[in-house]
Amino acid sequence: MDIILILSGLVALFFGGEWLVRGSVGVAKRLGVSTLLVSLVVVGFGTSAPELLVCIKAALSGAQDLALGNVIGSNIANILLILGLAAVIRPISCGQASIRRDAVAVLCASLVLAFLSFFHEISRISGALMLGLLFAYMYVAYRQDKKSSVAEKAQGQELQEHIEEEVHVAGDSTTKSVLLVLLGLGLLVLGADWLVNGATSIARAFGISEAVIGLTLVALGTSLPELATAFIASLKGHSDVVIGNVLGSNLFNILGILGVTALIAPLALSGRIVEFDLWLMLGTAVLLYPLIRSGHRITRIEGGFCLFLYAGYIGMMFIT
């Protein structure tokens, strides 16, 4: 029964995330929202929605390690697994100034979480400050987008076209887009409930810690929208969607999801997640910046190296 709950939860999260992204982009397009904000809807809130619902459900259920492991595990998987796989399929172009800016933002957000670990808790005040940082960054990014050069605006328009192609919004009416948003949110709520209940039950039955379940099964499950988007976008050569997807998702995961979750139920920072996995997440954020700056692209060899590191991380976790 628990396996059925987990599988049903993963399917609901996948389609819920996909429909929420498609509906959100469709609504944003109809409202004439800027290219930057359209991309933020996709790479930020949309693809991170599964993590948000799972974290809130886990925190309210008292499974705080599962909630924290979900975010940290998702961020590790986004860089090592998703970017690695995408780069192996086709090298990822990283020449845009906005990508370098977002990579620095992800690194700073990771440092904020590492700093909070010394206080052993993400309090409600800390959660509010994290959300404040996220909104401040979005405002700065928006202002920079408005002042961007003609060439940068052309790149932004190309990104928006790639995003719309990936999520198939061309023929969607406003009504259909709104319905997709509502259906997506409903599926995400159900999927989060099923996945958390099934995962925590299996963890307790087999004596596996909730932290490990959160870092692996739940993290990979909630990263399915990012993985699917990256795989298809790489095959089509839309590397701007891939890198924007990962950077936006990682930034929202830390500042947005943990911020909202802490406002609802303060999160304890202790155990193996804080002692090891948090610092590995910070290490992947540090690793990403030189990968982006070296030749302004992530090569197949670098992507393969990322996949090797992720396989070693998962293998070590279950061996120990």
- Please give the helix or strand (H or E) that residue 300 lies within, else none: helix 300-319
Q: What is the DSSP-derived secondary structure letter of residue 238? A: -
Architecture of domain 2-319: Up-down Bundle (1.20)
Dihedral in degrees, nearest 10, Cα atoms 55, 110, 262, 14: -20
pLDDT the model gives residue 169: 54
pLDDT band at 129 (very low <50, low <70, confident <90, very high): very high
pLDDT tens-digit series, residues 268-279: 888 888 889 999
Residue 242: CB partners within 8 Å, gap ≥ 6? 82, 83, 86, 92, 229, 230, 233, 234
pLDDT tens-digit series, residues 157-194: 555 555 555 555 555 677 777 787 778 777 777 777 77
pLDDT band at 54 (very low <50, low <70, confident <90, very high): confident
Which pTM value belongs to this model?
0.80
Mean pLDDT calculated for residue range 206-235:
74
pLDDT tens-digit series, residues 136-157: 988 888 777 666 654 455 555 5
pLDDT the model gives residue 157: 54
CA dist., res. 292 & res. 222, Å (int)? 25
Side-chain-side CA neighbours of residue 104 (13 Å): 8
